[in-house]
Amino acid sequence: MADERGSSLGAVRWRPGRHGRREPPAWTRSLAEGEDEGFFGPGSAVWAVNGALPTLVAGIRALLLQTLHPGAMAGVHDWSRYSEDPLGRLDGTVRWVAMTTFGDRRSATAASAFVSRLHEHVTGTYVDARGVERPYAANDEELLRWVHDAFTEAFIGAHRIWGGPIPGGPDAYVREWAQAGRLMGVQDPPTSVAALHEEMDAFLVEAKPDARVAQAVGFLRKPGLPGLTGRLYPILFGGAVASLDPHYRELLGLRRPRWPAITLTRLVLAFGVRLLGRMSPSEQNARARIARLDGEAVPAPVSE
> What's the distance, Cα to Cα, between the start and end of the chain in Å?
30
Q: What is the pLDDT of residue 21?
A: 43
Q: What is the pLDDT of residue 253?
A: 92
Contact 229, 16 (CB under 8 A): no
List the chain domain ranges: 2-210+278-293
Distance between CA 130 and CA 47 in Å, rounded? 40
Distance between CA 24 and CA 211 in Å, rounded? 37
E strands within 65-184? 123-127, 133-137
Exposure on the CB side of residue 128, measured as CA atoms within 13 A: 10
pLDDT tens for the chain, 304 residues long, are 333 333 334 334 434 444 344 566 778 889 999 999 999 999 999 999 999 999 999 999 999 999 898 888 888 877 776 656 556 666 778 899 999 999 999 999 999 999 999 888 888 888 887 888 888 888 899 999 999 999 999 999 999 999 999 999 999 999 999 999 999 999 999 999 999 999 999 999 888 788 888 888 998 999 888 888 889 999 999 999 999 999 999 999 999 999 999 999 999 999 988 877 778 889 999 999 999 998 876 565 665 4
pTM of the entire predicted model: 0.87
Q: What is the pLDDT of residue 286?
A: 94
Beta pairing, strands 15-16 & 123-127: unpaired
Contact 238, 255 (CB under 8 A): no
Q: What is the pLDDT of residue 302?
A: 61
Q: How far is CA 214 from CA 124, 171, 304, in A?
A: 20, 32, 39
